[in-house]
Every structure is written in structure tokens, then in C-alpha cells.
Structure 1
Amino acid sequence: MAPDPLSSAIPTGLARLWPKRIAWRLTLGLGALVLMVLLALVQTAWQLRLVSDVTQRFATGDMQRLLRVQALSLQTEGVGSALVRLVHAPRADRVKEYADVDARNRSIDGIIESLSDELKDPEQEATLRRLVACRAMYAQAFIATVDEIEGDNMQAAARALNDQVNPALTAMLRESGTLLQRERQRVEAQLSDARVLFGRVAMWVGLLSLLAIALATYLAWRTTRSVVAPLARLERAAHHIAQGDYAHQVQTTGTEEIDRVGQALNTMSDAVSQREQQIVRLAYQDSLTGLPNRTALLNPQHPGPEGANTLVLVDLARLKIINETLGYTTGDTLIKELGVRASLVLGAAARRGLIGPQWVVARLSGGTFAAAFQADQRSAVEQLHADLDEATTASVACSGHSVDLSLSCGFADTTDTGNGTVGALLRNAEVALHSAKRAALSHAWYSAAQEAARLDHLGLVSDLRAAVAQSQLQMWLQPKFSLAGTGQPVGAEALVRWIHPQRGFVSPAEFVPFAEQTGYITMVTDWMLDQALQTLQAWQTTHPALSIAVNVSTRDLQDAGFAQRVGQKVARSGINPQRLRLEITESGLMEDAQKSVELLHALRAVGIPLSIDDFGTGYSSLAYLQKLPVSELKIDRSFIDGIDKAPRTQKLVKAMIEMGHGMDLFVTAEGVETEAERSTIAQLGCDVMQGYLGSRPLYGAQLQAWLDSVTEAPALSAK
């Protein structure tokens, strides 16, 4: 056990009395300090009470008495002046002077009477007695003088004033001065005593304060030595834990609280060590398959296999559909099975020398795996891919179902880039995998051309916002014709075209898919709606029966505010909502069927007719067709191409048309290019056709010339 840090500072006899618990040490120290403070406060209060008594006595006794003695002198001097005025005053003014003299006499008598009750000094009492005798002499002289004044003997009154009154007043002034001088001496003595008392109080307070400070300093030093030193050891132990040194243990000190904290730190160190190991496993290991994850694959502290120059990215196809159809448990089973089979294939390839001895299989996310290894030739990688295909041929039995493993692969090595980091190989393999999926291939190798195409598409998406703002887009219109009667036009479908300032014409097939992925397609839709409404405004007088149909993207169907935005645009334009049509693809409807149905009802409430575009290419829309507030079905061109030579297709299209008519919808056929196709769909009962046979998409002067040359049929009303 480590010695107490105070053992060297405390005498042996006192060391046994020093408490072993910090709480008792603090209690002892604080108690002594509080006691000292209380003693200081009591002594200070007592001294202050003495000072207060002296001050009160001085303020209410000595000082008041001094003021009365001063007032006595002043009144005595004043009564002499008043008598002089009385002697010389006319009879009419004597009443006023009498009143003044009487008031001063009463004031003198009152002061003498009050002083007689307060003076305790024998000398002062003797002086006061002489003053009283002088006052009596003055009273007799005053009466004699007044008698002469009342007898109008002013000369005799003046002699009485000089011979009797003035000497008496002079004697009173002399005695009052003596009294005043004595009172001043007493006040000065009292002030001297008060200064001495104040000095003594200040000395006591200072001494007690110094003693309290000394005691506090001593107790702080003692407490610091008994608390801080052990805490410093605990702090060092905590720093060891923070730096990952979990083997360092806190030693006992003999202080109960410190030892408990030290034991808690030791326990925490062990727990943190175990949890850190668990966190590392969770951070770098996939919890489902037990394989390394993306972080482990890319982390410099967990590098891939030494000398790895090839990376294969494997993606389990149809995983989303499997999860939605058979449940996530089935999907997890497939993922684990793919990880096991991929690891077995890599291990077998390494043993055969097909790849290097060091390899790793990691699960990145979902059904995507990455295999990094060293391969001398691409033919070895192709053979590895063949082995993987063969290993995944056998279906997986899970949840009572037999499910096949369908894979897409992207290959990347250092042949094209020379960059052998796992991160670079993984990025290139992802490019190759996306290229394979777009081309519907089982696998693809990374090439610089793929990267250039990817960057090119990214550049197009970046330019799309500027294209909308700078009017680089154009709205082309492809007319739609009635198949009944004269075959006159009933409207047109709006098609977007992009004339890039550097690239020239950019096909919608190049930028629309990426615009869908990034969400920029909503800008394009809004721009097309504005252009269609402006065109319909221009046709108000010349072609009031023609309508324009604008395609709505899947992103628009997911926008809860789309219907309100469209309604506001139509209201501002002032056109009849029936002249603007919105076309929704069947596949787009099925992304979120419930939300799509709600949005379509909101659009229909605005009064806008709705069409289902590319009908027949989806798989589930028939279940929702009766719920959709649509007025038109547009049969996809894949059913119209060569329909005149395909009896089975004719039966299928006829069923579609009859189904549409049975639901009060009119039916449009897309992609009509020959007279035979037009004749066939007309015989099958189709209402409207659209395609190159009627007209190619038109813009500008060509569109205007075409409009000037035709007479439209009556508009088809929404049903």
C-alpha cells in the first residue's frame, strides 16, 4: 500500500489522529475554519456594539448638550439686543419687542432647566448654579427696567438697562461661556476615547482576519496534500486510459474514497478495453456476414492484401424485389450465402495459384461485395468470374422457396490507371459495374472511356439548370390524329429537346435519365408546362380545340405539391384546363401506387385530363386502373410495330382497346408509321393515333406551317 502523502509532514503522534477519510479531513478543516470565523464575528460584533454605544451616546447626549449651551449663549446675547430695541422703541412698537424679549427669556429658562437634569460633572453643576443666580439678578433688573419703560421714564429705563440689566447679562454670558468651554472639552475627550476604541476594534478585526487567513492557508495546504496528490495519481491513470493503455492499474493509497475511485477506474479500464475491441469489430466487420466491411477495406490501418492489383465488385441482382416479395429474412439469407460462396471461390483460386495467396472478400452494402487480390493476367480474373458463376448456379433454399443467385460484376485493375490503391480500384470497379448494368451484361472491365462517358453525363446534368434558365431547351410537338371521320388533328404531345451551346443537339435519352436520378427533371417539367400553356394561349383564337400533352416524371408523382403548382400555373394562364393533358407512364405509377393515385385525383380535381403513357409495359397497373381518374390509354409502340402482320398482337391490342372503352376511356396508339398499321388499329377500334405516319415532331416555322394547313377535329372530351 502506498504511504499517505501527509505522513512525512505530520508528527508521529499527530499522524495517528489524522483521519484516513477525505470526508473527515474536510469536515475537520472546514469546522475549524468556521469556528474561527464565528469567533471573529462575535468579537467584531461585540466591539462594534461598544462603538455603537459610544456613538449613540455622543450623538444623543454630549453633542445635543453642547448645542444647547451654544444656544444659551446666543439667546443671552440676543435678549440684550432686544432690550435695547425695547427701550428706544415707540409705544406703538413695544408690544412686538416685548414678545421678542419674552420668547428669548423663555428659551433661556428652558435651556437652563434641561441642563440642570443632565449635568453630572460637579464643576459644571457649580457653573450652572452661578448661571441660575445671574439669571435671577437679570430677572429683577429686567422687571425694574420694564417698570420704568411703562412709566414712560425712558431715561430711568436706560440707566436701569446699563446699571442693572447689562451687568447681569454679562455675568450670564461669562458663566454660559464657561459652561460651553467645559462641554467642548468633554466632547473632545469623548472623540479621543472613540478614536482609541475604533483603533482597538480595527486591531482586533485585523488580528482575527490574519488568524483566519493563516488557519485557512494551513488547512488548505493540509487538505491539498491529502486530496490533490492522490487525485493526481488518479488523473495520470485516467490519461493512461484515454491513451489506450488499459494495462495500467491504479495502486491503493490508504485513503478510502481515493481507493474506491481507483478501483472504479480499474473496472472502467477493463470494461472500456472490452468494448473498444467490440467497437473495432463492429466498425470493421459486417454484422450479417462476418466479413470485412467497406471501412475495413478502405481504412489505411486495415489495408487490403499486400500487392493487390485487381478488384472485383459483385452485386446481387433483384435483391430489392426479393426483399419486397419474400421478406428481408430471405434477402439476408441470400447475402450470407453469396459471401460464403465468394470466399470459397477466392480461397480455391488462391490455392490453385490463379490469384495471389493474400486476398479479401468484403461486404460493402446491401447485396454488393468486393474481392481484392493480386492477379497477373486478366484471363485469371475471367476464370475466377467463371468459377463464381458456377458456384452460384445452385439455387438457395430459404423460407420454403428456392431462389437463384443472379450476379452483376465490375472488374478493375491497374492496367489502365496504374493507381493500385484499393480506393481507386473500388471506384473504377463501381464505374464498370454500372456500365455492365446499363448494357445488361453479366460483367464489364473498367476503361477510361467509361469514365469519360460518366463525366460527360455529369457535365450535362450540371449544365441542365443553366439550360432551363437560358432557354436552351425547346418544346417540339408531335401531332395526334383522330382515326374516325376525316382524321384531323386533335392535339399534340410535347417533347423536350436540348440545343447545347457547345455540344449542339443533346438527345433526351442522354440527359433525361440522369435528370430523373438527380431530381433536376422537376425543373424540366415545370419549364415544359409553362411553354405548353403559353402555346395554348397563342392558340386561343386560331386552334381552340387542340390540346397539348406534357409528360410527367416519376419524381413529379412523388412531389406532394405538384398538383397545387400545376393548378396555379393553369389559373394564371387563363386557359381551359381541358386543353392541357398530363401523361404518366405506367411504370412511374407503380413506384408508389397509393401516393400516385392521390396525386392524380388532385390533378383531376383541377380539371386537367390525364393519360396513361406506354400502357402495357407495366405489370401491376391493372389492379389500380379502376382507381385512376384517367381519360386516355396510350398503347406503347412496341405493340403497334408490325401489328398488321401479327394476329396475336392484334388480339392483345383489341383487348386493351375494349378494356379502355369499357372504362369510358379513349385509346391512343403510339408509333404508327405505316398505312397498314393505321388501318389495322382503326379496324380494332382505336380512337387516336400518333407517329411518323401522321407527322414527325415539329418546331418553329414547320409547326406553324403545318398548323396553318390543317383543320382540327373537335376536341376529345375527358371521360
Structure 2
Amino acid sequence: MRLALGFGSLVGLMLLTLSLVSWQLHHITDLTERFATQDMQRLLRVQVLALTTEGAGTALLRLMNAPRADRVPVYADVDERNRRIDGIVTSLQGLLGDAQQEQTLVQLEQARAVYHQAFLATVDQIEADDASAAMQAYTNQVQPALAHLLQLSNQLVNRERERMENQVASSHQRLLQITLWLALLSLLAVIMAAALAWRTTQSVVSPMRQLETTARRIAAGDYAAPLVTASIEEVDRVSQAMSSMTQAIAQREQEIERLAFRDPLTDLPNRTYLLKHCAQCQSTQAGNTLMLLDLARLKTVNETLGFAIGDSLIKTLAEQAAQVVKTAAPAASTLLAHLSGGLFAVVLRAETRDSVQALHQQLLHATAQPLPYQGHSVDLSLAFGVADSPLNAPLDVITLLRNAEVALNAAKQAAQTLVWYNPAQEAARLSHLGLLSDLRVAVSTSQLQMWLQPKFSLHTGQAVGAEALVRWQHPTRGFVSPAEFVPFAEQTGAITQVTDWMLSQAMHTLAAWQHQHPELSLSVNVSTRDLQDPTFCQRVLHLLQQHGIAPHHLRLEIVESGLMQDTHASIALLHRLRSLGVQLSIDDFGTGYSSLAYLQQLPVTELKIDRSFVTHIEDLPGTQRLVKTMIEMGHGMDLLVTAEGIETEAERAVLQRLGCDVMQGYLGSRPLHGVALQAWLDGLSTSAPAGPDAHAPQPT
């Protein structure tokens, strides 16, 4: 209210000042307009009256002295002057606006009448050519009347001038008064503005500055800032609103912090809190250990029983693990966090591994009993990976998490409950990370090699073909075993590039064999990913046509377990390949689980008995009966039966007796490449028997 009254008064003073200025300007404008349109015009007329009256006497003298013949224009001039005097006198009537001037004008009219009579008397004497009488009339009558008329005219002029001077002086005096009032009002407005500014500063600006300081403290996270009080109601309301806002922000920030650092399912600290907590504990006196524990069968539970059951398992594990950690280790030195899914982390300070092993056993014991859920009994199968840092070393939680993750994966792969991190595990993982890019380079730069292992007929002993085997000679790693990079290539999808390279190399080899060894076929292994690629059949056809190879010379070997990934798509692809004329083999037959049910649907031409059934078969009657059944089943379906891994004469003799068609193994020949392969091809004889040394030069 005080601010409103103060500003209202200040605005009123400003409006009053503007009104005075406006009124003064309007008054000056009126004076100027009246001076220009009335006073000046009236003064000019009075002055013209005086001049005209004086000129009339001069014109009468010219008339008296002019010859009769020249009197007409002089008469006209005299008459014009007299008419002008009469017109001016008439126009001044009612315009003088002053009683004294009006009286003088009446006297002027009377004097004009006397002058007119004297003028007529003089003119009569002039027309009578009596110059002396005319001069006497002019002297005695005209001059006195004209002098009186001039006196009255000058009196009018002087009076008008005096009136104008008085008006100008009065206007000037009024202007000075208005200027003084304006100065006083302006000074009063300045004083009021200064007082109002000072009062505003004391009652508004200072509290607002305190509110600003409080707001900055709130922005910095200090929610305990004191409440600002002021004598102004509005400032108090703002202060109260800021206090309410501070409490609301503090509550929301607590909730946000809870959501950011706590897992909503288990209410345990999450990964973000784990990283933050460990970052605040950079130096410790004891070694730091990080244990990861994972629900190994959570994915199966989610897929089988649903995510609700999986979440219940996670919550149960969280409760049991929290209870174990709380009782097994001091809370100040141990942190249990839920990272994701069924993965939990325990960060603890342990001077020996025995304490970690004890905690591990307690966790296993606490989760040993299966849990009933909706009629199902579900056990908490846990896997543990542990990584520790050296004594008195700073806690690098990122490194510990990575190392513990490596150890956890090793535990799952080895089907163990607990594995400690070993740098060798990391070296293997790093090696695998580089294999993918190296393998792509190997395909494009011919680092890969195609080795051939010959296959021989058990009936004739003649070579019937070979199996193409991929080998990798790395420029820095040296020889990389297929057992190392082929499974990795399967996982990453790079195996399709290897398959394409092997098919291309096989086509080149078959093209070279067309004239010298037309009886030989070449087998190439096909991966599970190739069976799932709908363009694979078209790629094989393109290579056959490009190199002009008869399709029956190419044999594609499919791993039995690979058919089970997508049975319908795989069978459809095999039928398309078989329609091209390509031979198809089932590799490692007998090691799968479900292929017998689909065997009659497969358009295969060969069964390859896995070497696990061949090794020491001469000493295993049961295995002989099983292999005989496989051979008879294959023959019953018009399939060629090949035995893999034959290394001794006894194994070959048993398989030959059981009716197997083709043998492959070290007894016939080791895999060959380069000079050794060419030597074998050069010495190949269709009539030579198959034996361990007949066609098998040992490569160095």
C-alpha cells in the first residue's frame, strides 16, 4: 500500500507538471495567434490610417499647384486617399476592444468630417481659380483639421503600441510564474522519487537480495537456509512460497536420489551407487575384493515360468544375501548391490581369501533349499566370480568389476560355483577380441589355408575324394587352431566369410582336378549360420557356374546339431541344394540328440560316423553293434557311410567287416597342403590299395 501511494503521488505530480506545461503552451499559442491575427492587424491598420491621413494633405497641396489640365489624376489620388481613410475608420469600429480607443475613434470620425468640409471648401476655391482664396482656405481650415486628424491617428497608434507592450510584459510575467511552479513541482517530484527509492531499497530490495542469496544456497543443495522475513506482505508471501518450494525440492531430490541409486525391485544399491560409493573410498588399509554372484538359471526360469517368478527369485535371493552379508561381515566395510537381472555384487575388505571363501559357503548354504512357486520347486543355482586387488592398493572398482565378470563367465563355462580371477583368463578374452578383426583380414589377405584330408574306399582301397579343412597361419600369433577360432567365428557370424572363402578355394581345386582326377569329390563343412542364410543356395550355385564345376563333385557337410537350430528352414535349404545336384553329408553322426527323427526328411547322400565311435572299436563289442546299426540304417536309406578318425589297422578291419563304405583318418592320410598335397596327387594310383603309407606322405 505504501508503495502504491508513493508511486501514485509521484505519478500525480508528473501529471500535474505535464498539465501546467500543456496549459502554458496552449496559452502561448493563443497569444501568438491573437497577436498575429488581431493585434498586429489592428496596429497595421492604425499605422496605415496615420500615413494615409498625412499623405492626403500632401495630395491636396499637389492639387492646388497643378494646372487645370493635370488635375484629374490628382483628384483621383486625393479621392482614393479619402476613401481609404474612411474604409480604415469603418473597419476599426468594434475591433479596438478599448473604451479610450473607441472614444478616440469617434473623435477621429468627427475630425474627419471637419477635414472633409475644409477639403470641399478648398476644392471649390481651386476650381474657381482663386489661388489666394484656396490657399487661405487650406491654411485656415484644412491644415488645422488635418493636424487634428493626424493627432488623433497618432494617438490611436501610440495607444495600440502601448497595449501590445503591456500584453507582452504580462505574458512574460505569467511565463516566469509557470516556470517557477514547474521548477518547484519537479524538485518535489525528485525529492519524492528519492524518498520512494530509499524506502523501496529498505523494504523490498534488501529482502529480495536476501531471497536471492537463499535461492543460491538452495541451488547449491543447502535446503536448511533460514526463512527471510520482511515488513512487506508480498515479500513475506514470496519467502513462504520459497520455503514450500525448498521442502518440495528436497523431498523430490531424495526420491530422485533413491530412484537413481536404489534398485526398485530389491531396494538394494544399484550399479550407479556402487560406482559412486567405491569412488569415495579410493584408499584403504586392507585389500579390496569384489564378488559377483549370478542366478545361473534365471533365463530358463523367465522363459519357462514367466518373469513374475523370475522377479520373485531375484527378491528372495536379495533378501537372503543381504541377511548373510549383514551377519558375516561388518556393515561399514561391506556393500551388497544389485547390478542387473540376477546379477549381484558384494564389495568387501578381506585380508585373506579364506574369509571370502567362508562368505561364499554361507551364501550357498542360505540358498541351498529349493523355493516353491505356484506348484513348482525352483532352486537358486548360483555362480560366483571373485576378483581382488593388492593390499594397500586404491579401489579401482571398474577393473574389479571387469575382472570379476571374467571370473564369473569362467565359472559358468567350467560349471563351477566359484572361480577367482586369473590374468590368464583376461589374456584369453583379449585374444578373442582381436580374433574377429584379424579373421576378416585373414580372409581378405589369404592368411587362411585349405588343407585336404583324403578319403578312401574300404572296398577297393582307391581314393574317392577329400575333406577340405581350414587352417590359419597368423602373421604374429603363428598357427591358430580351428578349435579356437571356428567356434568364435560361429558366435560372431564371421564364419560365413570363412565358408565363402573355403567354397571358393574348393571350386578352384575341383576345376584343377576335372581332367587329371575326375573321380575325386571335395567336401566342405557348412556352419549352422549358413543353414540359416536364405541366400546360401544362390551363392553355391553362382560359384559352381562361375568355375564350371559339376555339382556332384561338391559335397557339403552339415553338423548334426546344427540342423536342430531351425529344423524347417534347414531342411528346406538342404532340399534346394540337393536339387542343384550337390552331395550332402551329415557330419559327426550319432553325437546329436534329435536328428534321427528328421533323418528320413533330409535329402542327404552320406552319413559320417563320428570318431568317438571308431576309437578302439575293436575292443568294444557294444560299440560295434551300435555302429553296425548305423551302417545298416544308412544303407537302408541308400546313403554312403563314412567312418572318421580311423588311425589303426584294427579299426579299419572292424569297420570294413561291418560294411562301412569309406574311411577317413590318419591311417589313410593326414591332412595335406602345398608340396605334400601335390606329391600325394602326383603319386595317386587308382589301383593302389589304401593303407597307412600307400598314399600318405607325412608332411613336415
* TM-score class normalised by the smaller sequence: 0.5 to 0.7
Partner of 2:293 in structure 1? Answer: 314
Read off the aligned partner of 1:316 and give its amino acid letter. L
Read off the aligned partner of 1:398 and give its amino acid letter. Y
Pick the aligned partner of 1:698 from 657, 663, 672.
672
Contact 1:554 1:589 in 2 (8 A): yes
Contact 1:475 1:496 in 2 (8 A): yes
Corresponding residue pairs, total: 488
Determine whether 1:389 maps to 2:364.
Answer: yes
Contact 2:282 2:395 in 1 (8 A): no
Contact 2:472 2:480 in 1 (8 A): yes
In structure 2, the gaps of 5 or more residues are 13-204, 206-210, 688-700
Partner of 1:480 in structure 2? Answer: 455
- Superposition pairs for residues 501-580 of structure 1, below 5 Å? 501-580=475-554
Could you say which structure has the larger radius of gyration? 2
Inter-partner Cα distance in structure 2 for 1:294 and 1:669: 54
Partner of 1:341 in structure 2? Answer: 320
Read off the aligned partner of 2:261 and give its amino acid letter. Y
State the secondary structure of the residue aligned to 1:415: coil
Partner of 1:611 in structure 2? Answer: 585
Shift of 1:556: 3.0
Inter-partner Cα distance in structure 2 for 1:275 and 1:588: 54
Read off the aligned partner of 1:580 and give its amino acid letter. L
Inter-partner Cα distance in structure 1 for 2:215 and 2:602: 67
Inter-partner Cα distance in structure 2 for 1:509 and 1:393: 37
Shift of 1:275: 6.4
> Could you give the per-residue CA deviations for residues 561-590 of structure 1, whole angstroms, max 9, x where no partner exists?
333333322222221222222222233333
Residues 336 and 635 (structure 1), Cα distance of their counterparts in 2 relative to 1, 3 Å cut: farther
Residues 338 and 498 (structure 1), Cα distance of their counterparts in 2 relative to 1, 3 Å cut: same
Inter-partner Cα distance in structure 2 for 1:605 and 1:266: 82
> Could you give the per-residue CA deviations for residues 260-313 of structure 1, whole angstroms, max 9, x where no partner exists?
xx99x9999998876665554444333443333333322469868995700112
Inter-partner Cα distance in structure 2 for 1:388 and 1:440: 17
State the secondary structure of the residue aligned to 1:376: coil
Contact 2:283 2:392 in 1 (8 A): no
Partner of 1:179 in structure 2? Answer: none
> Could you give the per-residue CA deviations for residues 644-696 of structure 1, whole angstroms, max 9, x where no partner exists?
22233333333433444444433322222222222333344433322212211
Residues 310 and 539 (structure 1), Cα distance of their counterparts in 2 relative to 1, 3 Å cut: same
- Superposition pairs for residues 291-310 of structure 1, below 5 Å? 291-299=268-276, 307=284, 309-310=288-289
Inter-partner Cα distance in structure 1 for 2:356 and 2:269: 21
- Superposition pairs for residues 346-425 of structure 1, below 5 Å? 346-350=325-329, 357-415=332-390, 418=393, 420-425=395-400
Pick the aligned partner of 1:582 from 545, 548, 556.
556
State the secondary structure of the residue aligned to 1:539: helix
Partner of 1:452 in structure 2? Answer: 427
Read off the aligned partner of 2:354 and give its amino acid letter. S
Residues 423 and 646 (structure 1), Cα distance of their counterparts in 2 relative to 1, 3 Å cut: same
Shift of 1:631: 2.9
Inter-partner Cα distance in structure 1 for 2:651 and 2:376: 45
Residues 238 and 357 (structure 1), Cα distance of their counterparts in 2 relative to 1, 3 Å cut: closer
Residues 605 and 673 (structure 1), Cα distance of their counterparts in 2 relative to 1, 3 Å cut: same
Partner of 2:95 in structure 1? Answer: none
Shift of 1:532: 1.0
Contact 1:304 1:422 in 2 (8 A): no
Shift of 1:381: 1.4
Shift of 1:345: 2.8
Inter-partner Cα distance in structure 2 for 1:650 and 1:497: 33
Read off the aligned partner of 1:292 and give its amino acid letter. P
Partner of 1:181 in structure 2? Answer: none
Shift of 1:456: 3.1
Shift of 1:380: 1.4
Residues 471 and 380 (structure 1), Cα distance of their counterparts in 2 relative to 1, 3 Å cut: same
User: CA RMSD for the aligned pairs?
Assistant: 4.3
- Superposition pairs for residues 183-194 of structure 1, below 5 Å? none
> Could you give the per-residue CA deviations for residues 226-271 of structure 1, whole angstroms, max 9, x where no partner exists?
xxx9xxxx999999999889999999x999xxx9xx99x9999998
Inter-partner Cα distance in structure 2 for 1:350 and 1:454: 33
- Superposition pairs for residues 232-311 of structure 1, below 5 Å? 280-299=257-276, 307=284, 309-311=288-290
- Superposition pairs for residues 77-156 of structure 1, below 5 Å? none
Read off the aligned partner of 1:379 and give its amino acid letter. D
Contact 1:306 1:358 in 2 (8 A): no
Read off the aligned partner of 1:295 and give its amino acid letter. T
- Superposition pairs for residues 52-67 of structure 1, below 5 Å? none
Q: TM-score, normalised by structure 1?
A: 0.58
Read off the aligned partner of 1:365 and give its amino acid letter. S
Inter-partner Cα distance in structure 2 for 1:236 and 1:664: 94
Contact 1:413 1:420 in 2 (8 A): no
Contact 1:315 1:368 in 2 (8 A): yes
Residues 404 and 470 (structure 1), Cα distance of their counterparts in 2 relative to 1, 3 Å cut: same
State the secondary structure of the residue aligned to 2:335: strand
Residues 712 and 4 (structure 1), Cα distance of their counterparts in 2 relative to 1, 3 Å cut: farther
Inter-partner Cα distance in structure 2 for 1:238 and 1:661: 90
Inter-partner Cα distance in structure 2 for 1:667 and 1:490: 13
State the secondary structure of the residue aligned to 2:515: coil
- Superposition pairs for residues 7-18 of structure 1, below 5 Å? 9-10=7-8
Contact 1:547 1:580 in 2 (8 A): yes
Pick the aligned partner of 2:402 from 427, 438, 441.
427
State the secondary structure of the residue aligned to 1:491: strand
Inter-partner Cα distance in structure 1 for 2:426 and 2:645: 35
Shift of 1:426: 0.8
Pick the aligned partner of 2:643 from 658, 666, 669.
669
Shift of 1:639: 2.2
Read off the aligned partner of 1:458 and give its amino acid letter. L
